[in-house]
Structure 1
Amino acid sequence: MIQRIQTIYLLLVAAIAGGLTFVFGLYTLENGAAVFAKDEPLYLGLFMASAVLALITIFLFKNRKLQFVLNRFNILLHLILLGIFVYRMLNLSGESEISEKGIGIILPIISIVLLVLANRAIKKDEDLVKSVDRLR
């Protein structure tokens, strides 16, 4: 049962949250130094928690309801992360500290989309199982 489409979505979320945060910078400071998620403990903690949660969720394929709930919690983690990014970008005015925003800022948005697609596939599987149970 690991060969389902939601497993691919969850693996992509784990790769984005666990790996790409070290590749793409979040923003560049005015002195030209790029800031990655590994430089900020809060960002790193949220990204790693999301990656671990996505990997745990993959192996809960027998309990689809728990898988669905954990994906929603993972979406909440990414929304919190996105909120922190937006607050940080809007709170600092102009060229005071952050000179250029990086592509790492949109990683939570991509992860949220993938998690929603995974939840849609899990829901479809759950509906299929319920419809088969009705026929018995």
Structure 2
Amino acid sequence: MIQRIQTIYLLIAFVITGVLPFIFPLWTLNDGKSFLFMQNQLYVILFGLSTTLSVLSILSYKKRQNQFVIGRLNIILNLILLGLFLYHSLNLSGEAPEVSEKGIGMFLPIFAIVALVLANKAIKKDEDLVKSVDRLR
């Protein structure tokens, strides 16, 4: 399980969506307070679902096809999360009275998507290898 490269990529995606949002703020308000994802219930749900899908994908290492589908769902979920961040960022661009600075937390879904794409690529490579060996039998 852990010796496969896709598990490492999925662990990276788990850390990006499950640990780093607690550390990096999404943006900073004018009064100097950081806006973390926990202050918006929708962001909490989406980050939680993404983290859960990463763990579920890691645990389903024997079923590569299911792992691949879960990875794709997780990519779509992170794209939705990124879209919400971009929508919020564009609606509150520069002149918003309450937001003074955008944080690195807004880019976490991009890093998660990259890790998930790499994991899906490795899962597909494993699946193709198993299919080629089955053909030789």
Give the TM-score band, short-chain normalised.
Answer: over 0.9
Aligned match of 1:32? 32
Structure 2 unmatched ranges of 5 or more: none
Question: Structure 1-normalised TM-score?
Answer: 0.96
Following TM superposition, where does structure 1 have runs of at least 4 consecutive aligned residues deviating by more than 4 angstroms?
none
Please state whether the residue corresponding to 1:100 is helix, strand or coil.
Answer: strand
Identical columns (%) = 60
Alpha-carbon offset, residue 57 of structure 1 = 0.5
Within a 5 Å distance, the mapping from 1:83-94 to structure 2 comes to 83-94=83-94
- 1:111 is aligned with what amino acid? A
Superposition RMSD on alpha carbons, in Å?
A: 0.9
Within a 5 Å distance, the mapping from 1:79-118 to structure 2 comes to 79-96=79-96, 97-118=98-119
Q: Is the 8 A contact 2:2 2:8 kept in 1?
A: no
Alpha-carbon offset, residue 94 of structure 1 = 2.5
Alpha-carbon distance in 2 for matches of 1:131, 1:114: 26
Deviates more, 1:33-42 or 1:70-79: 33-42
Alpha-carbon offset, residue 30 of structure 1 = 1.5
Alpha-carbon offset, residue 95 of structure 1 = 2.8
Aligned match of 2:20? 20
Alpha-carbon distance in 2 for matches of 1:36, 1:75: 22
Structure 1 unmatched ranges of 5 or more: none
Q: Tell me whether 1:49 sits opposite 2:46 in the alignment.
A: no
Q: Is the 8 A contact 1:2 1:59 kept in 2?
A: no
Deviates more, 1:95-104 or 1:19-28: 95-104
1:53-99: per-residue Cα shift (whole Å, max 9, x none)?
10011111111111101100000000000000000000124332211
Q: How many residues align?
A: 136
Q: For residues 115 and 46 of structure 1, do their structure 2 counterparts lie closer, same or farther at Cα, with a shift above 3 Å needed?
A: same
Deviates more, 1:21-30 or 1:87-96: 87-96
Deviates more, 1:64-73 or 1:94-103: 94-103
Alpha-carbon distance in 1 for matches of 2:108, 2:2: 25
Alpha-carbon distance in 2 for matches of 1:117, 1:131: 21
Deviates more, 1:118-127 or 1:97-106: 97-106
Question: Structure 2-normalised TM-score?
Answer: 0.96
